[in-house]
Amino acid sequence: MQVGIIGLPTAGKTTLFNILTGARAQTHRYGAEKKEANIGVARVPDARLDWLSELYTPRKTTPATIDFVDVAGLVPGEAKGAGFAPSLLSALRTVDALIHVVRAFPDDELPHPAGSINPQRDVDELALELTFADLAVVEKRLEKLPLDVQRKRGAEQVEAQRELELMGRCRSALDAGTALRDLELSEDEKRVLKGYTFLSLKPLLVVLNIGEDQIAAPPQVSTDSLALSAQVESDIAEMPAEERPEFLAALGLEEAARDRVIRFAYDSLGLQSFFTVGEDEVRAWTITRGDTAVTAASKIHSDIARGFIRAEVVAYEKMRELGTWNAAREKAALRLEGKEYVMQDGDCVNFRFSV
Ligand SMILES: Nc1nc2c(ncn2[C@@H]2O[C@H](COP(=O)(O)OP(=O)(O)O)[C@@H](O)[C@H]2O)c(=O)[nH]1
Ligand SMILES: [Mg+2]
């Protein structure tokens, strides 16, 4: 799972990236942003994993992780559709989701690239850039597809015809400034679009980077957003762990930005975790909501999916209630599930398989 962090220079992207991953990538105050991307890994905080780890005291505890990529290169105020440098575009194509960091904090000594602080404007402009980038791809495809429809026969022709219609719908939406993620699409259509790595199809989270004075009443934007002060949170992250809660509480915050952003990303992406437990390792694995037991098994190893016999499942709450795996078995809280079982968030699983 890879999430790209984008936004204008000085928005606080690298500061946020450092908070999320614990890296110390260089932020910048003067001069241009460096062009290379920063790449780092964030552990997904999960109190359930902590509890399971205390129960088993395994040799190793492995949390779920999300990769974050802090991509520089967004050029503000250029001709429409030219806002993305080609290197940025190609970096963005491969990520699963986007976080748009929008600057809301004032700082007279640090000019905003557009000359003023206006979060809604920045939100709208980036959304528009994403649709422009996708429109270019759709139009190129629309030049070729009619020819395919003419030349192909049978099932291939039907397929080309369908794609032509779908691309037409995409063009109308994008022309009107609508992101592709807002289209109603069938599963089949989603599969077709997936191959194009459209940017406006990716889940997009807006993070408003606010100043310390704005924490009590953050500015509002029209999209779903999460407000945080990257600078303040970065200072708190530097403190000894035992002092952090007090400072967070003084700011009226329950948990650090790191945890809030990661949880927000996890939820918006429709992700959830299942656990494998044992004395060797207690581990959280990431799956998508709706994934079946055999898909979950494949995350661990393709052999387990191939030789799948059944899944022994204990819901996390049952583990909590009954205390151990064996107690769960005795109290009939352990379920035997087949390949098509739809995994529930927090399932503790032991896969039976043979290869
Ligand atoms: N006052 C204030 N300054 C910030 C905040 N977040 C970042 N900065 C500063 O803004 C500058 C640019 O930050 P950086 O993370 O490099 O932004 P990027 O260009 O989007 O990667 C740095 O000097 C940061 O210290 C914030 O929440 N408040
Ligand atoms: Mg940066």
What is the pLDDT tens value at each position of the chain, 355 positions in all?
Answer: 899 999 998 999 999 999 999 999 988 876 666 778 899 999 999 999 999 999 999 999 999 999 999 987 677 655 455 567 777 888 888 898 999 999 999 999 998 988 999 999 999 999 999 999 999 999 999 999 999 999 999 999 999 999 999 999 999 999 999 999 999 999 999 999 988 999 999 999 999 999 999 988 999 999 889 999 999 999 998 889 899 889 889 888 888 888 888 988 888 888 999 999 999 999 999 999 999 999 999 999 999 999 999 999 999 999 999 999 999 999 999 999 999 999 999 999 999 999 8
Ligand 1 near 273 CB (within 6 A)? no
Q: Closest by alpha carbon to 276, among 314, 242, 309?
A: 314
pLDDT, position 269: 81
Ligand 1 near 105 CB (within 6 A)? yes
CA of 232 to the centre of ligand 1 (A): 10
| CATH class, range 290-353 | alpha beta
By most ligand atoms within 8 Å of CB, the mutation choice from 10, 71, 208 for ligand 1 is 10
Q: Helix H segments across 203-315?
A: 230-238, 244-250, 257-268, 293-300, 302-306
CA of 40 to the centre of ligand 2 (A): 14
- How many CA atoms are closer than 13 Å to the CA of 312, on its beta-carbon side? 14
By most ligand atoms within 8 Å of CB, the mutation choice from 8, 15, 35, 210 for ligand 1 is 15
Spatial CB neighbours of 45, under 8 Å, sequence gap ≥ 6: 63, 258, 259, 262, 263
Spatial CB neighbours of 50, under 8 Å, sequence gap ≥ 6: none
- For 55, phi and psi rounded to 5 degrees? -65, -45
Ligand 1 near 15 CB (within 6 A)? yes
Q: Say what the pTM is.
A: 0.88
Distance CA 239, CA 151 (A): 66
pLDDT, position 79: 45
- Which residues, in sequence order, are bridge partners of residue 68? 3, 40
CA of 310 to the centre of ligand 1 (A): 51
